[in-house]
Chain A
């Protein structure tokens, strides 16, 4: 089968790889009908996530049709259409039973490796480094889906792929980012990053009752897009973000701040950017955490900083004094997707939201390397690419 594989830093190739086979009783083989490129794939492509190997199949947002089932899967049938959550979860461990699916204690066969870097291991993730399991991803014609009886959600035929595909990651991720803010009526939420996850976070913040949502980015086309959700926008290359947020919130600051950017943030001041960029390039720190620092500084006293942008390792110059003295709450996590698929599917069905609004490009899977180029370099107003195998 064809698959999009990592061939080295900033190098992707469409390669012929063997078809997947059932390895565990609760596996399913899914023929991928739609898959997407995610912003967090860029951290892999850029080589900032440790333990990615040449030849790894990428992709963790996908859906398709069940074509083969292991003997342990009883709730799915050949021919079922399913959306597959990106974290792999067993459903039986303490974390899964607590709804913390992205922390499943059984789905990461390389837990020992992750422990060395992180202290304890998170769940396995499709196509997201060996430290997170070494599972081939979904930017391929077929995927093996472990614990297929737990994660995948069945889709009735009337809903097209484009409306439900993002239940695999970015819609629940944006939604969890907003949910972690504990939004109450009258509140103002600031979101850094107007990419697809930021757009879903903005839409979700409104769904959860936010009064105002302010989104910060530097690309006018992305800001225009997020404005469609009803959000106000700030271009950080044109205004001083801290000052602007203070002014817009009566001097108090946003009630909650969502970091939807993560480890490869940009900074308008060249010197500040150069500092972390240089440290990152020499591998002295893995992150460029300006957004995180700024979100912490901007948040109102006693507010929440919700981190859904991906971080990989270590952060320098973290304003802990601010967090402590101003009673900030930091909430984070890879999305516990399995917790949200059913309720968010209901919202899609009820017409509360049509997630396909983020799509800007559709291409065959064979164009994946080109699609990554467009997406990474923000060319052609690229917002979200759907790949069709």
Chain B
């Protein structure tokens, strides 16, 4: 978030610089000690246009920080030009060129920080969150979830969960290539309110989750709120698993919660002939026709 705000600020800077260079190129070249070069104003105008391009990218993008790299490329050009100008000049012009060089170097540092963070952010842990209201009492909803061995009935990518003791459990999931297994441990628990868990380091994948249970307004069932986090290298893995099933991790979690609601309210996962093997957002576009299936479906009901 902070990175994106910095990126936006840099975008506004580009906009101001670009506008100045286009509107008053002569003043800008004088300030940088370049006003004696032939064609200086034309170059200033071109650089101004380039700044406007940075501005458009940084102000227009949804996720602007990575676009700061485009500014760094621009900065490199500017530094080269100013460096040569400072070397080839003397007196007041040399002083002005050096000052401009210093200023650009400072901005380059900011740009670099912003771009690095912006790109790095994408490598951080993957977080997904979803919430659903279940038309059952809170204790009942909580109890079903706390019985971790129930989770595979509605989380379609889980094969099995086996509890080892009160806190520890062994999870098995369908992976992109081979089955995945890891051990998880409950790190916080308030009966009827929340369960937090994380994978035990070095036992497969790095993941953590939190599920909260609250009463819906006006006695309307229980609000279930789930946050999941997959750390590196779990992040890559989670995304790969999601892709294998043809969907986004966020969608996957929402679909899982919908099945959880079905199990709680109707006793089982509702099936239609079009997707007898389960229900997944993108896969549904490739569903079989909505007609009865000849073979046993083999999936989990």
A interface with B by C-beta (< 8 Å): 3, 5, 17-21, 23-26, 51, 53-57, 72, 90, 92-94, 97, 105-113, 124, 127, 130, 133-137, 144, 146-147
Q: Let me know if B271 and A24 touch, CB within 8 A.
A: yes
Q: Which residues does chain B contribute within 8 Å of A112, judged by CB atoms?
A: 251, 254-255, 258, 279, 281, 284
Q: Let me know if A94 and B290 touch, CB within 8 A.
A: no
Chief secondary structure at chain A's binding surface:
loop
Q: Let me know if B290 and A134 touch, CB within 8 A.
A: yes
Q: B268 near A: Cβ within 8 Å? A: yes
Q: Which residues does chain B contribute within 8 Å of A108, judged by CB atoms?
A: 270
Q: B203 near A: Cβ within 8 Å? A: no
Task: List B176-222 residues whose CB lies under 8 Å from chain A.
Answer: 220-221
| Count: A-B pairs, CB below 8 Å | 124
The listed residue with most B CB atoms (<10 A of its CB), out of A3, A20, A110, is A110
Q: Let me know if B292 and A56 touch, CB within 8 A.
A: no
16 more A-B residue pairs beyond the given contacts A93-B265, A110-B275, with a C-beta to C-beta distance below 8 A: A5-B291, A24-B270, A25-B267, A56-B289, A57-B291, A90-B262, A93-B266, A94-B133, A97-B135, A105-B261, A107-B270, A109-B271, A112-B255, A113-B284, A127-B290, A134-B272
Q: Let me know if B291 and A3 touch, CB within 8 A.
A: yes
Q: Let me know if B292 and A136 touch, CB within 8 A.
A: yes
Binding stretch for chain A, among B13-21, B26-34, B233-241, B293-301: B293-301
Q: B152 near A: Cβ within 8 Å? A: no
How far apart sit A56 and B292, CA to CA, in the bound complex (Å)? 10
Q: Let me know if B289 and A55 touch, CB within 8 A.
A: yes
Contact flag A110-B289 (CB < 8 Å), given A93-B265, A144-B273: no
Residue in contact with A23 in the complex, picked from B271, B285, B290, CB distance below 8 Å:
B271
10 contacts between A and B (CB under 8 A): A17-B292, A18-B291, A23-B273, A23-B301, A53-B274, A53-B290, A106-B261, A109-B271, A110-B284, A146-B272
The listed residue with most A CB atoms (<10 A of its CB), out of B284, B291, B294, is B291
Q: Let me know if A56 and B291 touch, CB within 8 A.
A: yes
Q: Which residues does chain A contribute within 8 Å of B258, judged by CB atoms?
A: 111-112
Q: Which residues does chain B contribute within 8 Å of A136, judged by CB atoms?
A: 273, 290-292
- Chain A nearest CB, measured from B243 CB (Å): 16
- Chain B nearest CB, measured from A113 CB (Å): 5
